C-alpha cells in the first residue's frame, strides 16, 4: 500500500483519510442522480400531479395510468408494438456492430500504419465532431435518395454508422498499445488482420465497450431516420412511435410522454450499469494520456 507524506493512498478497506473524498463526492453523486430519480417519479404521476403548480419533484400517489394509456394507444395501431421493438433492436444491433467494427479498423490503421494523408484523414474526422446532425440532414437525404434505399432498413443504418466520436476515442486508446507487441507479431509472420484481431482488439476492449454505449444511445433514441427517410410504418422504430404517441397534443399525451421517456431510458441505464467498469477504465486511460 503506497503512502505519501504519511497518508495512505487508495487503501483497500475504509480508512479515515477517505472521509474528505466521501464528503466531496457523495453530494455530487446525489446531484447527478436527481434527473434519473425525476424521470422515474414523473412516469408514475397521475394527471393531477403532472399538471400541479408548483411542480412536484417526487410522486405522492404513484399510478400506472400513464403506462396503461400508452399501451392502450399502442393497441389501436395498425402495426403491432412488437414490430417497432423488432425494428429498433435490428437497427440498433446492426449500427452498433458496424460502427464499432469500422471504428476499430480505422483506429488501428490511423494509429499503427503508415500511409499518405493519414493525419489529414484523422483531422477530417475531428472536424466532423463540430457538425450537429441537423447541419448534414440535406446531404444525408440526397445520399439515401440517390442510393435508392429510402423506406428500407438501410435508410436507418447507413446514416448512423459513421460515428466520429467513437473513432476518436478508440484511436486514442490504440495509440497506447506498444509498437513492440505489433513488431514482435509481425516478425512471427502475423499479417495486419491477425494483429488487429489478436492484439489490438483484446487490448482495447474498454474503449470498444464505451464506444458501443455511445453508439447505442445515439441510435436507440434516434427519430430522425424514421421521420425523414421512411414513410412506411412497418420499418419505423420504437423511438419514433413513442414520440408520435407522446406528442398527441392532449392532456393524456403528456402522461404517455412521461411513460415513454422512462421506457426508452431504461435500456440506456441498464447498458451503462452493466458496462460501467469498462467506461471508467477508458476515461482513466484518456485522462492519463
| Segments making up each domain of the chain, as ranges | 3-68, 79-288
Q: State the pLDDT at residue 87.
A: 93
- Please state which CATH number belongs to domain 79-288: 1.10.3720.10
pTM score, whole prediction = 0.80
- What is the residue-averaged pLDDT of the chain? 84
Q: What are phi and psi of 56, to 5 degrees?
A: -100, 135
Region of 151 (left: φ > 0; alpha: ψ -120 to 50; beta: rest) is left
pLDDT mean over 71-90: 85
Distance CA 61, CA 71 (A): 21
Question: Which tens digits make up the pLDDT trace of 93-145?
Answer: 999 999 999 999 999 999 998 888 888 999 998 888 888 778 888 888 999 99
> pLDDT digits over 34-61, tens only?
989 999 998 898 888 888 888 888 888 8
- 276: pLDDT strictly greater than 80: no
pLDDT value of residue 1:
44
Determine which of 139-143, 147-151, 273-277 has the lowest per-residue pLDDT on average.
273-277
DSSP at 62: -
Whether the per-residue pLDDT at 281 is higher than 50: the answer is yes
- The span from the CA of 268 to the CA of 255, in Å, is 21
Q: Which three cell numbers stand for residue 234?
A: 412497418
Mean pLDDT calculated for residue range 175-193: 88
**Nearest in space to 102 (alpha carbons), one of 170, 149, 199:** 170
pLDDT score, position 288: 43
Q: Please, what sign has the CA dihedral across residues 38, 40, 41, 43? A: positive
Q: Which of 155-164, 239-248, 278-287 has the highest mean pLDDT?
A: 155-164
Q: Which residue has the cell 411513460?
A: 259
Residues 192 and 198: their CA atoms lie apart, in Å, by 10
Q: C-alpha 206: how far from its chain's center?
A: 14
What's the pLDDT band for 65 if we cut at 50, 70, 90?
A: confident
Return the residue matching grid coordinates 438501410: 154
Q: How much is the CA Rg of the chain, to the nearest whole Å? A: 24
Contact 260, 209 (CB under 8 A): no
CA 27 to chain centre: 26
Please state, in angstroms and rounded to a whole number, the distance separating the CA atoms of residues 117 and 121.
6
Amino acid at each position: 500500500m503506497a503512502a505519501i507524506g504519511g497518508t495512505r493512498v487508495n487503501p483497500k478497506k475504509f480508512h479515515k483519510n477517505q472521509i474528505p473524498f466521501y464528503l466531496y463526492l457523495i453530494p455530487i453523486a446525489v446531484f447527478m442522480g436527481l434527473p434519473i430519480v425525476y424521470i422515474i417519479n414523473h412516469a408514475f404521476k397521475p394527471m393531477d400531479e403532472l399538471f400541479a403548480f408548483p411542480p412536484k419533484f417526487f410522486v405522492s400517489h404513484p399510478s400506472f395510468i400513464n403506462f396503461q394509456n400508452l399501451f392502450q394507444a399502442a393497441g389501436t395501431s395498425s402495426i403491432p408494438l412488437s414490430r417497432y421493438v423488432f425494428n429498433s433492436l435490428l437497427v440498433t444491433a446492426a449500427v452498433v456492430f458496424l460502427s464499432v467494427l469500422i471504428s476499430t479498423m480505422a483506429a488501428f490503421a490511423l494509429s499503427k500504419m503508415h500511409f499518405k494523408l493519414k493525419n489529414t484523414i484523422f483531422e477530417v474526422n475531428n472536424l466532423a465532431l463540430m457538425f450537429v446532425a441537423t447541419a448534414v440532414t440535406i446531404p444525408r437525404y440526397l445520399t439515401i435518395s440517390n442510393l435508392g434505399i429510402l423506406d428500407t432498413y438501410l435508410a436507418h443504418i447507413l446514416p448512423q454508422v459513421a460515428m466520429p466520436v467513437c473513432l476518436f476515442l478508440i484511436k486514442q486508446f490504440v495509440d497506447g498499445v506498444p509498437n513492440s507487441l505489433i513488431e514482435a507479431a509481425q516478425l512471427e509472420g502475423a499479417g495486419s488482420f491477425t494483429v488487429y484481431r489478436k492484439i489490438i482488439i483484446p487490448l482495447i476492449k474498454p474503449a470498444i465497450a464505451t464506444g458501443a454505449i455511445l453508439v447505442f444511445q445515439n441510435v436507440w433514441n434516434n427519430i430522425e431516420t424514421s421521420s425523414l427517410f421512411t414513410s412506411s410504418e412497418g420499418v419505423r422504430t420504437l423511438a419514433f412511435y413513442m414520440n408520435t404517441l407522446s406528442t398527441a397534443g392532449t392532456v393524456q399525451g403528456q402522461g404517455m410522454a412521461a411513460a415513454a421517456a422512462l421506457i426508452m431510458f431504461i435500456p440506456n441505464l441498464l447498458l451503462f450499469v452493466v458496462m460501467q467498469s469498462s467506461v471508467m477504465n477508458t476515461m482513466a486511460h484518456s485522462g492519463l494520456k
